Structure 1
Amino acid sequence: MSAKRVIVCGGNGFLGSRICKHAIARGWDVTSISRSGEPKWNTVTSSATPPPWAHKVSWERGDILRPATYAPLLKGADCVVHSMGILLEADYKGVLQGQVSPIAGMRKAFTSAPQPGNPLERNVAGGEEDIRPRETRDQLTYENMNRDSAIMLAKEASREGVGAFVFVSAAGGAPVLPTRYITTKRQAESTIASEFPRMRGVFFRPPFLYDSSRPITVPMAAMTGAGAAFNGLTGGLFGNFMGAAAVKPLKADVVAEAVVEALGDETVKGPVEVPEIEELANKSWRKNML
């Protein structure tokens, strides 16, 4: 039996790099696609030195907002993973160039802005076209990053006959985030499931992720865990308001291992909530112990 060929879009990120690691551990052929190629390792692990498994990954460059830059890399893939997104919107060019303050850039997330519809409805071409409409060309929005990039990646994957597509969604929003953060995630899930039914769609809904290699995430996870405990004690009364802040946090490696287990299990499809994520990770752990 030949090894699976897995494409991880966002494979150089906090979660994506760990998905690559666990897929490599299974002997699979893994390609990461991101704008910068190989990770800056000190941003995703506790060391600036590449880990031993890293040389087995093909670190490719591509722009998730320009399908033509990554579409050729999907040929022959068995599984594709979308592990990208933003928590807050920003006028990234203005911020980087010093023309807009970070606070002003993020403030755009909470103000009325053009909200283009589904890129499939806008007949976005698969050529050199950027999936962002002209009026949001310099803006990273929930629509283009959390929704449209996933839909267009799924479209290209389906065209190549990919068997399984994993979209890393989210357990919920939070009081500090605009509601569009989570609604665009859910819109992506719904569109991918309805428009590409021949491809097994798996929609992971992880909570807050933490790891000791990112020290700041540990106390934040403790705070989130306290919120989850409080929500449990109140019978889930504040669950809708608190969103992901009311859900037990998980270690990033647990979610990554669960994603890889789901790729190999054809019975897994549709939304995957936190309890199922933990079950999949435990199933993978037991396999590795045998």
Structure 2
Amino acid sequence: MSTAAAKRIVVFGGNGFLGSRICKAAASRSWDVTSVSRSGPPKWSSVTSSASPPPWSHKVTWERADIFQPSQWLALLQSADYVVHSLGILLEADYKKIVSGQASPFSLFSSSSSSSAPKSSANPLDRKPGDQSPLNKENRQQLTYETMNRDSAILLAKESAAKGVKAFGYVSAAAGAPVLPSRYITTKREAEDVIEREFGREMRGVYFRAPFMYDSSRKFTVPIAAGAMVANTFNGLTGGLLGGFLGAAGIKPLKADLVAEAVVEALADDKVRGVVGVEDLERLGEKGRRGEVV
């Protein structure tokens, strides 16, 4: 009796808070899992409660590459069933500062809130292999919401479609100002729109509009999530009275492991495409945890 070939997934940003959990969820299904990031394996103390690599981490191939230099990672997309973009400069950069004690947890919601920061002028669809990367040290001033949230995702989707990838997962966000900077949300939405318009016929796009995510391994996320839960309950009892004002703070937070399970479950289900909101993330995550057959 023949055994079905394992699914192959490549997670860009796979060493981050959510990305590492996506890798874990995929590895638990015996998928072939590759993580791509600039630093390779995670600094485990920043994404789990231990400084030591967990057992599942040995089932993941940890690659180093610059997202804006396709020549460094194009070969990794060969025969991939799924590709996930889990990169960003709000959650990852600010979490690292908070974990290291360089910033307050409240800076997660207040930093980079300007709506008039410089925009990226280059069209990511026209990017050439030799173009300078915004991640180069001498070019860091170009590292904006536009480059990381939008342009890197469009570039990755373009190359994924060209390689025949079946499904592309994009980690987006649930809501915006005042809790999240408006440009953080608009660049996420722009990426969703362009990817679906340009590549939706060739490749199934799934856009995960995640709420605030928490885990006990990052202790500062727990009280923030508790506050968001209270706001969500109040918002529900008042018929969404303050929904527009609260933004992401009025949306039910989810545990990061649950969102990761939802990402993997959605990619595995050919019927799931387009925007996946918070309620569907919760449903898919629970389904993935139960190990239901897709």
The SS at the match of 1:276 is helix
Q: Provide the secondary structure at the position in 2 that maps to 1:271.
A: strand
Moved >3 Å (runs of 4+): 106-109, 130-137
Mapped contact 2:179–2:249 kept (Cα < 8 A) = no
Q: CA deviation at 1:88?
A: 7.8
Shift of residue 44 of structure 1?
Answer: 0.4
Match of 2:55 in 1: 52
2:289 is equivalent to residue 285 of structure 1: yes
* Correspondences of 1:1-290 after superposition (within 5 Å): 1-87=4-90, 109-110=113-114, 112-116=116-120, 119-120=123-124, 123-125=126-128, 127-130=129-132, 132=134, 137-197=140-200, 198-287=202-291
SS at structure 2 position matched to 1:205: strand
TM-score of the aligned structures, taking structure 1 as reference length? 0.88
- Deviation string 1:205-224 (CA, Å, 9 cap, x unpaired) is 11000001111110110011
Decide whether aligned partners of structure 1 residues 18 and 108 sit closer, same or farther in structure 2, where only a CA change above 3 A counts.
Answer: closer
Percent of paired sites with the same residue? 59
Q: Is contact 1:8–1:20 with CA below 8 Å preserved after alignment?
A: yes
Q: Let me know the Cα RMSD of the aligned residues.
A: 2.6
Q: How does the TM-score come out when normalised to structure 2? A: 0.86
Q: Residues 120, 190 of structure 1: CA spacing in aligned structure 2 closer, same or farther, 3 A cutoff? A: same
Specify whether residues 69 and 277 from structure 1 end up closer, same or farther in structure 2 by C-alpha distance, changes over 3 A only.
same
Given that residues 142 and 181 in structure 1 are in contact (C-alpha distance below 8 angstroms), is that contact kept between their aligned partners in structure 2?
yes
Contact 2:179 2:248 in 1 (8 A): no
- Alpha-carbon distance in 1 for matches of 2:38, 2:180: 26
**Of 236-245 and 81-90, the range deviating more from structure 2:** 81-90
Query: Which whole-Å CA distance do the structure 1 matches of 2:146 and 2:281 have between them?
Result: 26
The 1:66–1:138 alpha-carbon spacing in structure 2 relative to 1, beyond 3 Å, is farther
Specify the SS of the correspondent of 2:210: coil
What is the identity, as a one-letter code, of the residue corresponding to 1:284? G
Deviations 1:110-153 (A, max 9, x none): 163321357246x211x132364999752321100111110000
2:165 and 2:62 mapped to 1: Cα distance? 20
Q: For the residues of structure 2 that align with 1:253 and 1:119, how far apart are their CA atoms?
A: 34
- Is the CA contact (8 Å cut-off) linking 2:133 and 2:139 kept in structure 1? no
Aligned mates of 1:53, 1:171 — CA distance in 2 = 29
Q: Compared with structure 1, are the counterparts of its residues 2 and 189 closer, same or farther at alpha carbon in structure 2 (3 Å cutoff)?
A: same
Identify the range of structure 1 (129-138 vs 163-172) with the bigger mean alpha-carbon deviation.
129-138
CA distance in 1, matches of 2:258, 2:92: 27
1:107, CA displacement in angstroms?
6.7
User: How far does residue 75 in structure 1 lie from its aligned partner after superposition?
Assistant: 1.4
Change (3 A) 1:179 1:42: same
Aligned to 1:37, the other structure's residue is in SS state coil
Q: 2 CA distance for matches of 1:145 and 1:163?
A: 23
5+ long unaligned stretches in structure 1: 96-100
Displacement of 1:89 in angstroms is: 11
Shift in alpha-carbon separation, 1:276–1:262, aligned structure 2, 3 A: same
Q: Secondary structure at the match of 2:272?
A: coil
